[in-house]
Amino acid sequence: MNFVPRVLAVLDELLTAAAPDDRGALWQLAEPGRELDANLVRLPAGAEVGEHQEDVLDVLLVVVAGGGRAVVAGAELDLTPTTVLWLPRTSRRALVAGPGGLAYLTVHRRRPGLTITSSAGSSAPFPVAEPGAEPVAEPAGPYAARPAADEGGEAPCMLDLVCPACGRLSADPEPVFCSRCGERFAER
């Protein structure tokens, strides 16, 4: 693959184009073959991202507009434009937007993609038949069943699991209603 440096987004333009009450990821890095993930996230005034923990990745959070606070290790840290916050893996954190809202960029190592494995636990990728086609045989020889590698993980951005009303992070991967306040999540 031939990678060429180029401008992917102008954050000020994305923020200007967003409606005042837009919440969530306004932009995501989606280039094929990348080794990073990045998201431009916007929270309207007073909105929160409930306490949660990232077990696998360190995250760098850069405030680009507005302000608010991060609650980490029982302390409150002020977030203002140009603040750079390092969130080491396993740290618990929550975010609260100030009266002008909060817009920030998150950057972290890309999570490995999911692969299809056999029921016998092989981690080798198998060909997948098109819908309606004959089943594809599992490989033999060097690709025969062997212990599966841990290749999953959470999505890079979990904002779709955060209740829009109270900020609680849902344990359900596809929530319909918030278990704390009963607010309906957006249709997927």
Tell me the per-residue pLDDT of 88-116, one tens digit each, with 9 for 90 and over.
999 999 999 999 999 999 999 987 655 55
The residue with greater pLDDT, 176 or 88, is: 88
Binned at pLDDT 50, 70 and 90, residue 171 comes out as confident
Residue-range domain boundaries for the chain: 11-111, 114-149, 158-188
Going by the DSSP 8-state scheme, the letter that residue 52 receives in this structure is: E
- Count of residues making up the chain: 188
* 131 pLDDT above the threshold of 50: no
What would the mean pLDDT of 159-182 be, rounded to a whole number? 75
Average pLDDT over residues 142-154: 43
Label residue 179 by pLDDT band (50, 70, 90).
low
- Amino acid in position 106: T
Residue 8 falls in which region: left (phi positive, over 0), alpha (psi -120 to 50) or beta:
alpha
- pLDDT confidence bin for 180, thresholds 50/70/90: low
**pLDDT of 1 over the 60 cut:** no
| pLDDT exceeds cutoff 50 at 137 | no
Q: Supply the pLDDT for residue 26.
A: 94
Whether the CA torsion 90, 53, 64, 96 is positive or negative: it is negative
CATH class of the domain whose range is 11-111: mainly beta
Higher pLDDT, 140 or 9: 9
In terms of DSSP H, where are the helices of 8-163? 11-17
The mean pLDDT of the chain is 78
- pLDDT value for 112: 61
Q: How far apart are CA 146 and CA 85, in angstroms?
A: 41
